[in-house]
Structure 1
Amino acid sequence: SSGEDLGVCECLHSVHPFASFNLYAIVVFLPFMSCLGICFNILNYKVYSQRRSTASAYLAALACSDVGVCLCGIFVIWADSTRAHIFSFDQYYVFILPYAIPFGNFFQTLSVYITVLAAIDCFLTVIRMSGVLTPRSIRILIIAVILYNLVTLWELEAVKCTNPYNNVTMYNLCPTEFRVDPFYITWYKGYFYTIFMAFLPFILLSVLTVLILILLRRRRPSALLNA
């Protein structure tokens, strides 16, 4: 309405010194690489989905998750960079990004932990305990990843405001009060992200890889003696 009191836009795009590089690297090159990734992962899914082992089930699930990562690379990273150059596109996309970004976080987390599950399954196979993990484990993992990333739905919002440079009313993508809360930044974005997206996967994959290599190396001489 005419009496509506709008605040000044505080989250406007800033001019980056590498704007030209960003334009070519993300707006042009990223969609090409993402499309390649989608094609190759669809091919991987068709190959692994026809096999019956649990390892193949994890690799097929990983291919699906990576397709999601590639799609979100286009719809989140590409779109976020493109909207800085096209105003009309920006005004539509500020309503989509608050929901698209959590999908990107979901697929990113899912790909990391499917890889961890595949490594655990490989280790269990080496120590002759195959069957402990089943394809049902993937469904449990998906639920856990959804719960972990659910809070990111409340991180961003489209705010109606006035551009101080040209006095034009527009919608601007801004962090919510929830996103800038110190407790949330410290624990979820700080400790939780560091532990669950960096430290824990790295430690698990490193330890499992070393153990698998040691066990296979010890088993090889005995296999040769029995031959």
Structure 2
Amino acid sequence: MQKKENSMNQSANNQQTNADNFANNSKSLRADAKQNREQILEAAHKSFAQKGLSIPISEIASQAGVGIGTLYRHFPTKEALFEAVNISYKQQLTKKAKSLATHADPGKAFFDFFSSIIKDGFTNRALKEAFKSGAFNTRAANFGVIQDFHSAYATLLIRAQQAKAVREDIDVQDLGTLLIGLLRAIEQQGDATDINRFHRLLSIAIEGLRYKD
């Protein structure tokens, strides 16, 4: 009887050990998958920014240090990968905007944020190509991320307007249109690498946004 009880206890212990090992292995696999995804997004962000949307997907996988199969398991198409990069970028911008929402100088907070977005667009080839071609096709599942970004951006704008730093007849949609128009103007004139001209145009845009008595 004692032997049978001992055998049953040993069996139960083995089952628990197997369950624990399975759980640990599953956690390890999930951690590895998460790390792979983060590596892919980081590599894709840099690759898209430097080489544009035409970069081969295999090159991004190589830069991320993963196999092409691993990349495709996370992102079945290049479009899906670019969308994920764009969503991640929007989330970073939202976090930055929220951190500036309590800045002591609402005008400076707004114009610093606005300038950083314009500069990102100027230096990022993929963003410029996407703005030019209308390649931003965000899935409905990600609309919440876009709305969060617009809300955080609008908060900075409204605070700056209330502080009489920004003209009152501007909204977030106007800012997006201004960004696209500025980038397209630089591209069409063939001087996309002229940093001095870019800063001059950015200065003109900022002065146009400032509150006038």
Specify if TM > 0.5.
no
The alignment's TM-score, normalised by the length of structure 2, stands at 0.27
Question: Which is strand-richer, 1 or 2?
Answer: 1
Question: Which is helix-richer, 1 or 2?
Answer: 2
Choose 1 or 2 for highest CA Rg. Answer: 2
